[in-house]
Structures are given as structure tokens and as C-alpha cells.
Amino acid sequence: MGEDATQHQREQTRNLCIEDSCTDKLGLSLVLLSFSFVTLLSCLLQAGGQAKEK
């Protein structure tokens, strides 16, 4: 009985680690996505501003 409980606990810990890495990757991709979106937007605004000046 004791060994089964230990093995089950290990599996839960492993699953938690997997979930943590998934949320880390998701958070990182969201940050990168928003950063690239803002960069793209500012580039478009600058290009639009230069076009108006001409």
C-alpha cells in the first residue's frame, strides 16, 4: 500500500511540473505576441506618418 501511494504522489508531482512548463510557455508566447504586435503597430504608424508628410 505504501509503495502505491508514493508512486501516485510522484505521478502527481510530475504532472504538476508538466502543467507549470506549459503555462510558462503560454505566458512567454503571450508576451512575445503582444510585444511583436506593438512593434508592428508602431512601425505601421510611423510609416503612415511619413506617408502623410510627403
* pTM higher than the cut 0.85: no
Look at residue 17 in the predicted model and tell me its pLDDT. Answer: 66
For 17-54, write each residue's pLDDT tens digit. 666 777 788 889 999 999 999 999 999 999 888 776 65
CB half-sphere exposure, 26, CA atoms < 13 A: 6
In this model, does residue 11 exceed pLDDT 80? no
Separation between Cα atoms, residue 18 and residue 24, nearest integer Å = 10
Encode burial over 21-38: b for 16+ CB neighbours within 10 A, e otherwise: eeeeeeeeeeeeeeeeee
Q: How confident is the model at residue 15 (pLDDT cuts 50, 70, 90)?
A: low
DSSP H/E element including 51? helix 2-53
